[in-house]
Amino acid sequence: MPASKSPSPIGYTKARRALRVHANHTRAKVYRWYFKDPGLDIFLGVSTKEMRRVARDFRQLSMPDVRRLMCSRVHEERSLAHAILRWKFEKGSEAEQTRIFNFYIRHRGAIHSWDGVDDSAPYIVGPYLLQRDKAPLYKLARSRRIWDRRIAIVATLSFIRKGHLADTLRLAEILLNDQEDLIRKACGWALREVGKRDVTALKAFLRQHCRTMPRIMLRYAIERFEDPERRRYLSGNI
């Protein structure tokens, strides 16, 4: 009889157990309040530092197991999946990056929280599309699904870091009338980052839209302005 294969040292169950070693009940209560979760998620209370350590240890986790983590009701298990995908993307070859990007887009329906978007899209979607056709972002920006739209604008944070601002401004314009606060805040955040790179470009956008754009988007966008100038934009007296 042939010898039985030994179990893989890396797997879905081991990853879940590794997270629970760092569980903290008090921190879990804080996270539940912070994310304003209505009881849909389970929180373990794993810190960001500990999450990154577990992700590094499980960076070779198979894609089917990553997918299982992405679909979990446990908040930190989904975060672990994103951290592993980010690690795989950053360290991968061009072919591997294409595989990770396609996997992410195909399974993005598993993402249903703002932090799930923010800890993945700027590190996978943005870098992959930086030198490629941006059409996928414009398709996502017009999606009925809030998290698709947030992926579209937040992904461009990686463009801004490289000095590419045009797509952020175009996407923010497409999303100007979005009814979701999480999209308005994300657009304002992205516009504020544009201003760090090119305040003239930001002010040109604001001159055109400050009187009609959502208040919360405007407040985020002008957060770094001096008080007198901020008041002028808020009053529309430009």
pLDDT of 1:
38
- Listed by start position, the domains of the chain span 7-110, 121-238
Q: pTM for the complete prediction?
A: 0.92
According to the model, what pLDDT value does residue 140 have? 98
> Is residue 44 scored above 80 in pLDDT?
yes
Cα 204 to Cα 121: distance, rounded to the nearest angstrom: 27
Q: What is the pLDDT of residue 37?
A: 73
Side chain identity at residue 130, one-letter code: L
Q: Which pair of tokens denotes residue 203?
A: 């002010």
Q: Do domains 7-110 and 121-238 have the same CATH topology?
A: yes
- The fold for domain 7-110 equals Leucine-rich Repeat Variant (1.25.10)
Q: Average pLDDT in the 117-128 region?
A: 98
23 burial (CB, 10 Å; 0-12 / 13-18 / 19+) is middle
The mean per-residue pLDDT over the stretch 123-144 comes to: 98
Taking residues 34-53, report their average pLDDT. Answer: 90
Is 8's pLDDT higher than 60?
no
Question: What does the mean pLDDT of the chain come to?
Answer: 94
The reported pLDDT for the residue numbered 45 is 97
Q: Tell me what the mean pLDDT of segment 17-38 comes to.
A: 92
> Residue type for 96, please?
E
Q: How far apart are CA 153 and CA 31, in angstroms?
A: 25
Confidence of residue 236 (pLDDT cuts 50, 70, 90): confident
pLDDT for 195-227, tens place per residue?
999 999 999 999 999 999 999 999 999 999 999
pLDDT of the residue at 237: 80
Q: Is the pLDDT of residue 120 over 50?
A: yes
What local confidence, expressed as pLDDT, does residue 38 receive?
Answer: 73
Query: What is the pLDDT averaged over residues 19-43?
Result: 90
- What's the pLDDT score for residue 183? 98
User: Mean of the pLDDT values across residues 47-52?
Assistant: 94
pLDDT in tens, 54-88: 999 999 999 999 999 999 999 999 999 999 999 99
Residue 9 has pLDDT above 70, yes or no: no
Among left, alpha and beta (phi > 0; psi -120 to 50; other), residue 66 is alpha
Query: pLDDT confidence of 4, banded at 50, 70, 90?
Result: very low
**What's the CATH number for 121-238?**
1.25.10.90
Report CA-CA distances (Å) from 14 to 22, 73, 76, 138, 211. Answer: 13, 17, 14, 38, 53
